Chains A and B, each alone.
Chain A
Amino acid sequence: MVKESILSERSAWKALAPWLAVFVLLLLAPRFLPRFQVYLTGLILTTGLLAVSLNLVLGLGGMYQFHHAVFYGIGAYTVALVITKTALSPWIGFLLAPVVSALFSLAIGLICVRLSKLYFGMLQISLGSLVWAVVFRWYSFTGGDDGIHGISVPGIISSTDGAYYFSLILTAICLIVMQRIVNSPFGRSFQAVRDNPVRSEAVGINVKRVQLTGMVISGAFAGIAGSMFVVIEGSVFPELMFWTLSLEIIIMCLLGGWFTFLGPMLGAAIIVLLRTVVGIYTEYWTIVLGLVLMLLILFLPQGVLGYFLESYKRGGGKAVQEER
């Protein structure tokens, strides 16, 4: 038993090593990348964190979280409003972002969680759109459709490199915490609820409460991602919580593969890069995204990472099964 645990610890280090390498590489990135690419990497990390946080409920919990961007937007607006409308320290804004997002998650979750899967998703899209509509029209408070620009974040994180390091470190911490949650008893129970809610209920699990908890956690991380966006862009606007962005995040999860923890991060990277590259050549970015999505659904439903993992695993039992 003791020997086993040492072994597993060693293999854990082995598994961790590549990630450490990636982290160090990312730490050094500003030294050899031009400014725009540093900015882009920061944006990828932010969007990636958002996608991973969505996957917590979508992939792990099997819930149709159709309007995740709302919680992202709320996090971003919380920081922006604390900085521009109050005399509080900006850092308080960063602390408040996940809290406010979690509270909105709780409120929307309480209304939606009683409904069955598809209904849940549709109602969530609708309620999220209400939040968007209010933000969109409340000129005196949120800046309406213009949003808020020129938000001055604390000096240490205001430069491109500063913003990058802020998002990198925050992303790393969040990923570690989320990874921990995925592998916690709660994470396993959440998975069980996804697999079979009826049976979960029969073994004493309060299914609605598990789902609500999952939503709140995921919303909080989306809020953190939103606060990172403010640091990187220095502005917020209602598009951050428009429903099409939510579906775009779902595409990222699908693209990367939602049965893997970091798949959505990969998906986010692909989408953000694709948008940047396509944006150079044409204004018709959405048609490209649409066609990519179509091809993905038709030919690669388990995602890019999922596809490679599957071909890698082939022969050793089909662990990654398609959800019905």
Chain B
Amino acid sequence: MDFASNITISALFQQALVGLSRTTILFIVASGLSLILGVLRIPNVAHGSLYMIGAFIMYSVNHFFGGGQAGFWMAVLLSPVAVALISLAVERGLFQYLYEREHLMLLLFTFSITLVFGDLVKMVWGSDYRCVDLPAAFQGFFTILGFPFPRYNLFLIIIGPVVAFGLWFLTNKTRIGKIARAAAVDREMVGAIGINVSLVFAAVFVIGCFLAGLGGALVAPTQNIRQGMDHAIIIEAFLIVIMGGLGNIWGALLGALIFGLTDSIGILVWPQFAIVFPYVVVVIALLFCPKGLLKSTW
């Protein structure tokens, strides 16, 4: 085994940047999951499916507009919106009737949605791999400190903090955010002062799913879009949320950062089992802080 023989400063630096762009995707998906988990107390397994659907819609919209600049931007904007609409339909049509049930039932219900969506995606898009070509502006490399770095990855690294700030603003500075946080702590109380809790939940659910769709749309140009990409991301998102602290946006960011970096650096150290590194970090983190690295905000 050529263990650790190919580690150079340059490779390390590049992998770190790749890890950072991966962080953005992980963060966007995990923060949506965390939001739903924090307010609705549901580990939404279907989150991964929505991410996958986001990626497939990105492909179709981009394809429809013939790719290029227009196709890319339309797709990035439209696919999260489409995913949000799907989730709205699911929430209003089915989910809202189940809030009083046990957590386990809700989890299984989201799993049933995963199963249905999985096959629906197969029916609509088939089981082939799909690829999205980047518009010219995003192709090629920047040179950073003498190292080549893909432009699109840099774009992703910038998007991450933007989304984080937007979410922070939404949950801390807007009325709906404040209501949602209050509802997370005490459902009945918020209901008692005349706020329609069910609608607040719907809003949170849709926003969370929107983020899943956005993550899927943004990841689409960087990898093959395929069946099963939903299964992998949801486990990673679970892990990030657990590590970061329930319902804490900055926790999700920190968790995603740790996950993304350990994963991408791990690829240098031990390519075959790079996946092991983030897990080890999570287990160590949990041994010291069983409730996650950052305090849950609600």
B129 interface contact, C-beta 8 A: no
Instruction: With both chains docked as a complex, state the minimum distance between the C-beta of B90 and any C-beta of chain A, in angstroms.
Output: 11
State whether the Cβ of A320 lies closer than 8 Å to any Cβ in chain B: no
Q: Is B275 close to A, CB under 8 A?
A: yes
B105, B111, B242, B290 — most chain A CB neighbours (10 Å): B111
Question: A220 on the interface (CB 8 Å rule)?
Answer: no
Given the interface pairs A118-B41, A118-B103, A119-B242, the reply to whether A286 lies near B118 with Cβ below 8 Å is yes
Q: How far is the CA of A99 from the CA of B118 in the complex (A)?
A: 36
A residues 22-52 in Cβ contact with B at 8 Å? none
Among B266-298, those with CB < 8 Å from A are 272-273, 275-276, 279, 282-283, 286-287, 290
Contact for A297 among B103, B108, B246, CB less than 8 A: B108
Q: How far is the CA of A294 from the CA of B41 in the complex (A)?
A: 19
Closest to A324 in B: B102
- Flag A69-89 by CB within 8 Å of B: 1 or 0 each: 000000000000000000000
Partner of A64, one of B104, B119, B120, B290: B104
Q: Contact flags (1/0) for B217-232 with A, using CB distance below 8 Å?
A: 0000000000000010
Which of the segments A4-12, A90-98, A241-249, A305-313 contacts the partner chain?
Answer: A241-249
Which one of A121-129, A149-157, A197-205, A211-219 contacts B?
A121-129
With both beta carbons as reference points, the residue of chain A lying nearest to B282 in the complex is identified as A126
Tell me if A293 is interfacial: C-beta within 8 Å of chain B: yes
- Segment from B143-151, B159-167, B171-179, B233-241 that makes contact with A: B233-241
By secondary structure, the B interface counts as helix
Stretch at the interface among A130-138, A172-180, A225-233, A268-276: A130-138
A281 at the interface (CB under 8 A from B): no
A193 within 8 A of partner (CB): no
Structural contact, B272 and A137, CB atoms closer than 8 A: yes
Contact B111 A287 (CB under 8 A): no
In-complex Cβ contact of A129 among B104, B109, B235 (8 A): B235
**Is B283 a contact of A247 with CB atoms below 8 Å?**
no
Set A118, A125, A284: member contacting B235, Cβ < 8 A: A125
The verdict on B122 contacting chain A, using a C-beta distance below 8 Å, is yes
With both chains docked as a complex, state the minimum distance between the C-beta of A300 and any C-beta of chain B, in angstroms.
11
Instruction: Tell me if B119 and A284 are in contact (CB < 8 A).
Output: yes
Nearest-neighbour CB distance to chain B for A308, whole angstroms, equals 20
Indicate if the CB atoms of A297 and B105 lie closer than 8 Å.
yes
Q: Does B94 contact A (CB under 8 A)?
A: yes
Beta-carbon contact of A290 and B116 below 8 Å: yes
Question: Would B111 and A130 count as touching, CB distance under 8 A?
Answer: no
Residue pair A122, B122 in contact (C-beta under 8 Å): no
Q: How many residues of A contact B (CB 8 A)?
A: 41
Interface membership of A100, Cβ < 8 A: no
B114 to chain A, nearest CB (A): 7
Write out, one digit per residue, whether chain B residues 100-134 have a CB within 8 A of any chain A CB (1) or not (0): 01111101110111111011101100000000000
* One of A122, A242, A287, A294 near B94 (C-beta < 8 A): A294
Q: A14 contacts the other chain (Cβ, under 8 Å)?
A: no
- Give the residue name and chain of the A residue nearest to B100 (CB): A324
Contact A287 B103 (CB under 8 A): no
Whether B98 is near chain A, meaning CB under 8 Å from some CB there, is yes
Report the bound CA distance from A131 to B72 in whole Å: 38
Instruction: State in angstroms the CA–CA spacing of A123 and B112 once bound together.
Output: 20
Contact with A along B74-87 (1 / 0, CB 8 A): 00000000000000
**B272 contacts A138, C-beta separation under 8 Å:** yes
Does B43 count as interface, using CB distance less than 8 angstroms?
Answer: yes
Complex Cα distance A6/B71, Å? 81
Whole-angstrom CA separation of A53 from B136 in the bound complex: 56
B45 at interface by CB-CB < 8 Å = yes
How far does the Cβ of B169 sit from chain A's closest Cβ, in whole Å?
Answer: 27
Q: Which residues of A contact B111 (CB under 8 A)?
A: 244, 247, 251, 290, 293
Name the A residues within 8 Å of B275 (CB-CB): 130, 133-134, 137
A301 interfacial by beta-carbon distance below 8 Å: yes
Stretch at the interface among A109-117, A163-171, A184-192: A109-117
List 9 additional A-B contacts (Cβ < 8 Å) besides A126-B238, A293-B109, A293-B111: A118-B103, A122-B43, A127-B279, A244-B114, A247-B111, A290-B112, A291-B116, A293-B112, A323-B104
Give the 6 A-B residue pairs with the shortest CB-CB distance, closest first. A290-B115, A287-B119, A293-B112, A290-B116, A126-B239, A290-B112
Q: What are 7 inter-chain pairs, A to B, with CB distance below 8 A?
A: A114-B290, A123-B238, A123-B286, A242-B231, A244-B231, A286-B118, A298-B94
